[in-house]
Copies of this chain bind each other. A is one copy, B any other.
Amino acid sequence: KKQYRIAVIPGDGIGKEVMPEGLRVIEAAAKKHGVDVKFDHFDFASYDYYEKHGEMMPADWKDQIGKHDAIYFGAVGWPAKIPDHVSLWGSLIKFRREFDQYVNLRPVRLMPGVPSPLAGRKPGDIDFWVVRENTEGEYSSVGGRMFPDTDREFVTQQTVMTRIGVDRILKFAFDLAQSRPKKHLTSATKSNGISITMPYWDERVEAMAKKYPGVKWDKYHIDILTANFVLHPDWFDVVVGSNLFGDILSDLGPACTGTIGIAPSGNINPEGNFPSVFEPVHGSAPDIAGQGIANPIGMIWSGAMMLEHLGEKQAASAIVGAIERTLGERTLRTRDLGGNADTTACGKAVAEMV
């Protein structure tokens, strides 16, 4: 039987606080379902490591974690101490690019016991996936500044979309849509305003759609799409977008289901050439770090996504079920959900429910 080797990187702030709960729950589910996981712990990709070594990661980081079956990641960034372009571009975004994790996958699901800020929405009403392109698009490294400190000063930054990059994310999204009961895909565009890259995106969506006659698809401009997340969240099944649009929609979606604190994500290399990274959608949250009050559910749910990605569907479903029961019972919840459990108490509650 295969042993899964997981690289564990807690990172910064509340990442370090929610990680033990994620591990606790994965261990409980693994034990129950006979899954063999081994955790290797790494302290890089954090401000602490940076302070000691002057860089976010060791030169051989790829050798250290590149052969693992997956990476379980907390959160990185501490803007008051270290600029984002050092911390994030030196770790999280590096993983996405260099491990070719071209899919960022995030569920938007209204869970039992979690009040939605949207009036009258019940669990079951909101249940879709955001599929985000995770390596190119608006997050490019091409551009610069000219005529600094004069009235002619300007900056430019290119959005870059490659045929390979766009087609592979669309294929992933259409495959996912085809595997779901509703078989419905929505593409985020803005081709009426962003007149070169976005019409190209639309063109590739149309070409890809021809290969999936069983999938119904539609497209919305990003402005009205965000409006429809609020007005008609029940319209969606699989929503695919560029790096930026996917980023926006996968924070807005979880907000519509009550809180960013419980939302999980996978940064996935579907071919398995490199390990995929599973991390909560929330960041390191310096404002509440150190108090032990962070919600560990985003981290725990990310663990379930990781097990699912590894093919361990039973253990994965056991965790999601345990999250649903814990949230539904409304007793052991963290403050962001109106409870008063601390991070550990919430993590233990889920582990016991598994």
Residues of A at the B interface (CB closer than 8 Å) are: 77, 84-85, 88-89, 93, 115-120, 138-139, 141-145, 150-164, 190-197, 199-200, 222-224, 226-228, 230-231, 243-244, 247-248, 250-252, 254-256, 260
B143 near A197: Cβ-Cβ < 8 Å: yes
User: Which chain B residue has the least Cβ–Cβ distance from A116?
Assistant: B119
Chain B residues contacting A248 (CB-CB under 8 Å) are 222-223, 226, 248
Complex Cα gap A243–B88 (Å): 25
15 A-B residue pairs with CB within 8 Å: A84-B192, A89-B195, A93-B193, A115-B119, A117-B230, A143-B158, A154-B160, A154-B163, A158-B159, A222-B244, A222-B247, A222-B248, A223-B247, A223-B248, A252-B252
A119 CB → nearest B CB, Å: 4
A325 to chain B minimum Cβ distance, whole angstroms, is: 24
Partner of A156, one of B88, B158, B163, B226: B158
Q: How far is the CB of A178 from chain B (nearest CB, A)?
A: 24
A15 shortest CB reach to chain B, Å: 16
8 Å CB contact of A119 from B117, B156, B159: B117
- Chain B proximity of A279: nearest CB distance (Å): 14
By beta carbon, the residue of chain B nearest A246 is: B223
A159 to chain B, nearest CB (A): 5
B244 x A256 contact (CB < 8 A):
no
Contacting residue for A192 out of B88, B115, B226, CB 8 A: B88
B227 and A197 within 8 A (CB): no
Taking CB atoms, residues of chain B closer than 8 Å to A157 are 158-159, 194-197
- From residue A282, how far is it (CB to closest CB) to chain B in Å? 9
B117 in contact with A231 (CB, 8 Å): yes
The answer on a CB contact under 8 Å between A153 and B160 is no
A244 to B77, CA, bound (A): 26
